[in-house]
Every structure is written in C-alpha cells, then in structure tokens.
Amino acid sequence: MTSSMEPMIPSEKGISESELPSLVLALERKAAALAGTVNPISAGVLEQHMRVINSYYSNLIEGNPTLPRDIRKAMEGEYSEDPAKRDLQLESLAHIKVQHTLAENPLNKGALLKPDYYSHIHKLFYDELPESLRVVSDGEGNSRPVIPGQFRQAGEKVVVGKHLPPEGKSLAPYLKRFAEAYTLDYLHGEKKVIAAMAAHHRLAWIHPFLDGNGRVGRLHTELFLNTIGLGACGIWCLSRGLARSNKDYKLALANADSPRQGDSDGRGALSESALIDFCIYMIRTAIDQVDYMGDLLDLKSMSKRIGVYIDDRNKGLVRGIGKIKPEAAKLIERAFIFGEFERADMEKISGLSRSVTRKLIQQLKEEGLLTETSSRSPLRWAIPEHAERFYLPELAPAG
C-alpha cells in the first residue's frame, strides 16, 4: 500500500548525480557561520522577533495577509473591529504561541517523526483558533469541523490539486512508513538535510489532517532542521523564502506528486527526479534566507544601519520618533555585539557625562531600543518596530 509514495529519499545514484551534495554542504557551512556571527543573547532577541515574521509568512502562504504590525497590535490586545480580520490576527497569534511552546519544550529526536508529534503540533495550533477557522469546506458547499490534533477519519477524503491523498481510514501505514523512512539514527551525512526536505513533501502528500497541513508541515520542517543543527527559525526563517517564491513552492510541491517517468526515473511509484528537484528548490531557498540574514547581521553592516537609523531620526525621517543624541549609536551597537552591557559601563561606552548618559539610557529604554529585566540588570539589545526597517531591511512589509 505505502509503495505508492516511494521513494521517500532519493537514491544514492540520484543524489550523487545531482546538485544536492554541494548544496547541502553550502547550507551546512553557511548556517554554521551564521550561528557563530551573533552573540547568544542577541540571537535570543532575534529568535523572539522572528516568531512574528515566521507566523506572518507561513500564514501568508495559506492566504492570511495579516501584517506583522497588526500581529504585534494583537499581541498587545489591540484587535481589528472587523470580525474576519480579528480572527486572522488570532490565527497569527496561535502560530506564534505554537512556536514558543515547541521551543520551550525541546523534543527527543526520536519523537520528531512519530505521528503523535505532528498531531501534537496540529492540536496546539487549532486549540488556539477561533471557531470560525476550525471548519473546512468540502468544495460542495458543505462544512466539516476540524478537530484539533485529529487525523482524517474514515470517509474523510481530500483533493489537493491533482493529487488524491490516501483515504482517512488508510493513513496509519503511511504515517508508520514516514516515521521509518526518516529516522535520524539511520541517516548520515548529507542525507539528513535531504531527508528533512523530502519529508516536507511526503507529509504534504499524505495530507493527514482535514486542514492545517501546510502550517503543521512547515513547523515540522523547521523542527527537523533545528534537530539536525541548522537552526531553522532561530536566526533565519525558511517560511520567508517559501512565501516570497510562493508560486515556485506550490509548483515544486505539485511536481513532486508526479508518477515515475520511465525506467530511468528511480524505482518507486513517484518520480525520483521530481523529488530531487523539490529538495534542490528547498535547499536553495534555505541558503538564500541564511545568506540574507548573514548579510544583515554582519557587524560592519549592522553598525552602519544603526548609524543610519540615528541620523534619519535626527533628520525627522522616522515617523513618530523624535531626535536622539548621536552617541546612542554606540550604546545600541555595544548591546548588539555583546547582547547586553553592564550599567557601570554605560558612561564609558557613550563618552558622555553620567547625568546625560542616564537620560539617554532612559530614552533608549522608553523607546524599546534597550531592555532590562530589573532596575539593576544589564541592558540588552532590542528590535522595536520603528527600528526594524533599519536593522533588518526588507524582512517583512512595514504596512
């Protein structure tokens, strides 16, 4: 029965004759370099910030256009008066909460591929959704409720483009085969990264839930990449790349559903060459996003943009934010480089008198440019909304 979704991973021959080995090596090297670029404290700030960005892009792929600005408003309890827009804000918040929950509860790598785990992800997400978003249409005007965490049941058929996924009553063996094929203990070298990308398609092919398969799949892929050491959404965000090439993403998914094209196209029921192409697309997209964040977080580049931010403020070019002393750039830069700095060092960093530095620090805190955990704690780097387009240009639409 499960032979209809083979191959699960491209063959050794298929891999060696493709770009995959060189692409995997490039991704691993670039991701490792990026991880070493940023102080762990600043990386933690970025991780929190990127959860909003990940939510925005993953939901955008599914047709939810709620901008990061409006997501952050919802995080502060400010919702749209339009019920439909409010529900989409809640959907965005649900995605952020799932990311937080998964990050706070690291999984054993053996649990990653078990059906119970991606059922758990689905339940976490759908438990937070408003009732209006817990229903799905069958295309004939009939609506069915989506039960959080529940796989499709007997009689629950779905159609995805031209692909007809396994019937609900037949899911168990497919999910079992999925777990076996991608068990990390049996994967070595480049195959771990290739498996993470191939698994993204094969989970979509199985389509285990009535709805929510895309977002669960992307969250699962990010966890897979994180588990194998590539930090999927700590500092960089795969969903950003997928959303920015949404047509290519959906085309690559659909093409990987294709049946084998002759005797030279692998040995499974599905096309090996199309699966290889899908993995190439995913890895190239990942490399693009790692490169993007690497360029932004380069120390010289970030220092320059911090300076531009301060200059533009003092020229009146940052809406709603007044002037600030140029020495603020030194304090912000120091916090970015080291993640935080002690209060005892603030005058030395700024080069200003104690009283002037204190006033400047207070202004930086009030404007969200520095944060603290107590009145005596070190001062940490932060990314307020008014500085995001300078620190992280083109990360997401400003709205």
C-alpha to C-alpha distances, 55 to 42, 184, 284, nearest whole angstrom: 20, 27, 21
Residue 341 has pLDDT above 90, yes or no: yes
Q: How far is Cα 200 from Cα 275, in angstroms, rounded to an integer? A: 11
Architecture of domain 299-391: Orthogonal Bundle (1.10)
CATH topology of domain 2-297: Fic-like fold (1.10.3290)
User: Contact at 8 Å (CB) between 20 and 287?
Assistant: no
Percent residues over pLDDT 90 in the chain: 88
Q: Over 60: is that where the pLDDT of 124 sits?
A: yes
**Domain definitions of the chain by residue range:** 2-297, 299-391
Distance CA 166, CA 174 (A): 8
Residue bearing tokens 């003092």 = 314
40: burial class by Cβ within 10 Å (0-12, 13-18, 19+)?
exposed
**Average pLDDT in the 374-385 region?**
95
Local structure of residue 368 (DSSP, 8 states):
T
Sign of CA dihedral 261, 264, 265, 267: positive
CA dist 173 and 170 (Å) reads 7
Contact 76, 68 (CB under 8 A): no
**What distance in Å separates the CA atoms of residue 266 and residue 256, rounded to the nearest whole number?**
13
* pLDDT at position 371 over 80: yes
On average, the pLDDT of the chain sits at: 94
- In DSSP notation, 73-126 reads HHHTT---SSHHHHHHHHHHHHHHHHHHHHHHSPPPGGGTTSHHHHHHHHHHHH
Rounded average pLDDT over 83-99: 97
> For position 233, what pLDDT does the model report?
59
SS3 percent helix, strand, coil of the chain, rounded to 5, is: 60, 5, 35
Q: What percent of the chain has pLDDT over 70?
A: 98
DSSP 245: T
Q: What is the pLDDT of residue 231?
A: 79
232 has pLDDT over 70: no
pLDDT band at 399 (very low <50, low <70, confident <90, very high): low
pLDDT attached to residue 291: 97
> For 281-304, what is the mean pLDDT?
96
Residue 156 confidence class, pLDDT cut points 50, 70, 90: confident
Least confident of 2-11, 139-148, 305-314: 139-148
pLDDT-derived band at 172 (thresholds 50, 70, 90) equals very high
pLDDT at 234: 84
| 386: amino acid identity, one letter | H
This prediction's pTM: 0.95
CA distances from 233 to 4, 49, 53, 353 (A): 32, 10, 10, 41
Residue 168 near residue 150, CB atoms below 8 Å: no
What is the pLDDT at residue 159? 87
Angle at 94 between CA 90 and CA 97, to 5 degrees: 135
Q: Given pLDDT bands bounded at 50, 70 and 90, which one contains residue 216?
A: very high
